[in-house]
A and B are shown apart, each in its own frame.
Chain A
């Protein structure tokens, strides 16, 4: 009997430079495992996330997007960072609904600079939830080469 290969969702992690990126490094340094079907993209602060960027990711190969927030210790915006990031996320979720994409494919999570275990747990849970949602439809033809789609 041939088993269908189990669906492994691909997750984009938008990781902020001051907090979550060292936190994700910390997870690696401690050899804390989480699904390898993750891609980590470094940005300065989670408050810079544009809703259209999230839509772009979900229409370009990703099954889910995790916005790793700076948390209240954000060196740029302090506690207000959380409020602003949450606002971007809810705007993005509205945009996803409009486009017929399950807003559950977007998740926000505070990851501090030593929150390696919390990060790994969050990705594991998100991955399991995305498995239930199934694959996000991919663009018809995988675009190859740089600059495609621009």
Chain B
């Protein structure tokens, strides 16, 4: 399908595709096995300016938007959803600064992120604050011109590798979510440590660790927006980033589908390629249609975000939940088409299936997304 990309977006997509196919695809299985963070690939992405596609030109970026970020995330995920997350996770960590940061904060942090010199990470989830993010325990106590952070953030993507962390913590416990605030914490700040690296089912090239704050002193200048705005910063960030998760899911689905189509044309059973069997053809047709529908939804929402539509909560939740459900289904079907070979780790599709699963879980489970969608639908009806 032709999505009528601009000339610049076409250039971005083609370059991301070239890097994914030539540099990531050959090493995806190796990084999945070793669970190492793919720094050499991050370096290639940095040198190609891909980290800057969604950052304004004034801060050293290319001036594009979420759509541009989605195009890169999708193409990288088509080769490896785990390696792509080093890129997408940086986007998530950057959004609070991009959306709500002060001019000084933007000037200080965005140019390095745009150049890919420093990666970013977003710290919201805690052990007892997953879907119930309001139940967070991490606190930030103001003392003079500093905030003292205490608490543990869990399952933080890019933790340990990133240098810029945007952290949500309670500045006023009594006020609950209205007492949350957002901070920028740089790696190396005294009192900030990282937990052990998690062993995951999929996206194994991505680093997932705890970020532990013990009397961690953060300059007051690193407060994003105002005290009490933390939850709004987080929600706005997630509304904006969800098309990116959708794009990652679309990429994973497309990657699995590519393998399934290739395999069906070369695998001979009963004297003919299995692609000649209607049972396989119908599966491929459904997979292709679902991937295209997911992509169309993800791109539409990304373009809504870039056009400055005020509330995209419902639509971005729809895109995330639909695309991630598609990714899971398509990856499962790709394994089915490859049959016994699909189940073997010598073939790439089982990895796509493992990688797909996380997209239904992180950045808000699909159940939470459905809550958001339904709540908006009901609210809209009441307004009529």
Instruction: Tell whether A and B belong to one assembly.
Output: no
User: Which B residues fall within an 8 A CB radius of A?
Assistant: none
User: Which A residues fall within an 8 A CB radius of B?
Assistant: none
